[in-house]
Chain A
Amino acid sequence: MGDQKRTVSIHVPVLARVEGEGALDLRIEDGDITELRLRIFEPPRFFEKFLEGRHYTEIPDMVARICGICPVAYQVTAAQALEKLFGVELDPWARAMRRVFYCGEWIQSHSLHIHLLAAPDFFGCNSAIELAKIAPDEVRRGLRIQALGNELMELFGARSVHPVGVRIGGFHGAPPLARIREIREKLRAALPEAEALIRWTASIHVPQDDQAFVSVAMRHAHDYAIEAGAIAASDGLFIEPEDYDEHFAEQQQAHSTALFSSYRGQPYLVGPLARINLNHERLPARVKALLDETGLVLPSRNLFHSLVARAVEVLLALHEALRLLDAYRVPDSPAVPVSPRAGVATSCTEAPRGLLWHRYEMDDDGRVVNARIVPPTSQNQARIEEDLRLSLLNFGLDHADDALRLHCEKVIRNYDPCISCATHFLRMKVERG
């Protein structure tokens, strides 16, 4: 392009049918971005207020309704917080099966995001339906892996959407050995498929980008952190969930009903790329070897590597589920007794989209006095805006409006399936100065 500068105003007014309804405003004047706002305008859902006064036994099923894609994350985080407060020591069986349950969610959520949402972007397709014309085997494989994740969730939760299996103290029931044997075979059969998925995602050409950001994820002494661990950051932070508020802050922004989180006053990244940046050496040997084979250099500063990170975590989750189910036994009881007590409970886990933090103040009867839930989506909001700004500058502001919009969509889709939903509904109005 020549020296002539243009003014571009891109408004994405409605991002519909999503858990987080949002819009994107972008204005470019004289070759500079003068306005860039990811507006989340979904009416507040008041989930934290709904929880007030509720008995602890109701909490797992209530918080599962927060998200149709990652209900296990909400259930497990809430359960762990309350169990910690109540001094409940889970049976090792329940602790292991919570991780298996969570693996199912990672498998289904990541597979859905890779195949139905993110991958079409990189093949010039508008949808998975178009992608299926040129990569039918890969899409079929993705659907099989996603279905297996759902099956694993159903095994412990009775259903994959808003499952009902978790209770404070363990689970409501334990699957019989015959069902475990059956799913073990399926998990084993899926390993080569997940390995092929990693190779495929690594072979997909993605934009080159290089951004400085702080990765935040849980970190565990031995395992790749999913449901257990402390909170770590790429600048060396290592804290317990109870200390979250000392380092992280949520702020309201006029243009969004989602709170914006910051770490030491700056945006930060949560999610698969943050996790793999911080915890790649915790991957099982076979997964690590395959990751090394892809040539991906970690820590990565290119958010488009989130695609590979998700594929790596699919294989990790399959390995973990298999490892834990190989030692499966039917427990004497799927749950231990619980006696509530008053106090403050905090916990966090790694939802598919990133760190999920819960805090509950409980009364003597085991009822919620107040609750606070910090989901990964709000933690990534500021980072998404920062990423959009940086990656657009790297991409080049002189591209046509459609190309700019598509690039913005790609960037947003990298972060979160809920936001990814939204970006399939971009209605753009362009004004030129």
Chain B
Amino acid sequence: MNRVRILGIGSPSGDDQAGWLTVDALLAGGVKAGDELVIEKLDRPGAGLIPLLDNASWIILVDAMQSGGQPGWIQRYGVNDWPAYCQGLSSHGFGVLNALSLARELGSLPPRMDLYGIEIGGAMPGGNPCTEVRAATRKLADIIADELRFILQARPAAAGSGGDGNATFHKTIIRK
């Protein structure tokens, strides 16, 4: 167990693409996946999120959120301060926080977990993300990339095969 996983959650609906766009921005910025770093785009994984937490030492999860703030606002949550969730448990709507809460009960959370929420506005099917959300995903990608460099440089064995100063990896998975 020595793996970092970045999970960008979204759907093809307007601003709800925030998690996917963050992954895109990370990749565009030179972050590459490999043995030590797995990067996935997920489309509303439901309870399927839980197995993706297995055997990871650090999970970075990015999802859209609606908390009444301005679109583009970025909030980071740790394991113990997830936001309150106003919707309940259901088969079609088993959301990210439901899955994480269940994982916590089952002892399946990784040693480190960072949950990033990007405040969004509209999530119309087929719609484009707004400018603020696009900008926020690029900003968040920079934050994550900096942190990856810092952490992985401090742990050379985990830094993949590259030596160009970027966190360099090999593989990106896109899962729906």
Residues of A within 8 A of B (CB): 16-19, 68-69, 112-113, 116-117, 126-129, 132-133, 136, 139-140, 143-144, 146-147, 150, 159-161, 417-418, 420-422, 424-425
Contacts and interface: CB of A to CB of B under 8 A. Distances in A.
Given A17-B87, A116-B47, A424-B90, 5 more contacts: A127-B88, A136-B107, A143-B50, A150-B48, A424-B89
Contacts of B47: 112, 116, 143, 146
Contacts of B43: 161
B91 A136 contact: no
A272 to B, nearest CB: 15
B91 A159 contact: no
Interface string B135-148: 00000000000000
Q: Interface SS of chain B: helix, strand, loop or mixed?
A: loop
B94 interface: yes
Contact of A132 (B87, B90, B93, B102): B102
B106 A18 contact: no
Nearest to A163: B176
Nearest to A140: B106
Interface in B71-102: 87-94, 98, 101-102
Contacts of A420: 90-91
A17 B90 contact: yes
B164 interface: no
A227 to B, nearest CB: 22
A86 to B, nearest CB: 30
A144 B87 CA distance: 25
Interface residues of B, number: 22
B93 to A, nearest CB: 4
A136 B51 contact: no
B106 A424 contact: no
A421 B46 CA distance: 13
A113 B92 CA distance: 11
Given A136-B106, A140-B106, A161-B43, A128 B89 contact: yes
B91 A129 contact: no
Contact of A139 (B90, B93, B102): B102
B114 to A, nearest CB: 21
Contact of B94 (A16, A116, A150, A422): A116
Contacts of A136: 105-107
B89 A129 contact: yes
Contact of A421 (B44, B90, B105, B176): B90
Contacts of A422: 90
Nearest to B89: A127
Nearest to A134: B105
Contacts of B50: 143
Contacts of A424: 88-90
Contact of B102 (A69, A129, A159): A129
A421 B89 CA distance: 7
Contact of B91 (A133, A143, A147, A417): A417
A116 B48 contact: no
27 contacts: A16-B87, A17-B93, A18-B90, A68-B92, A69-B91, A69-B92, A117-B90, A117-B91, A126-B89, A129-B98, A129-B101, A129-B105, A132-B106, A133-B105, A136-B107, A139-B106, A140-B106, A150-B48, A159-B176, A161-B44, A161-B176, A418-B92, A420-B90, A421-B90, A421-B92, A425-B87, A425-B90
A6 to B, nearest CB: 29
Interface in B93-134: 93-94, 98, 101-102, 105-107
Contacts of B101: 129
Q: Which 7 residue pairs spanning A and B have beta carbons closest together?
A: A421-B90, A132-B105, A17-B93, A417-B91, A127-B89, A159-B176, A424-B88
Contacts of A150: 48
B92 A116 contact: no
A127 B101 CA distance: 11
Nearest to B47: A143
Nearest to B43: A161
Contacts of B48: 146-147, 150, 160
B92 A17 contact: yes
Nearest to B95: A17
Interface in B149-176: 175-176
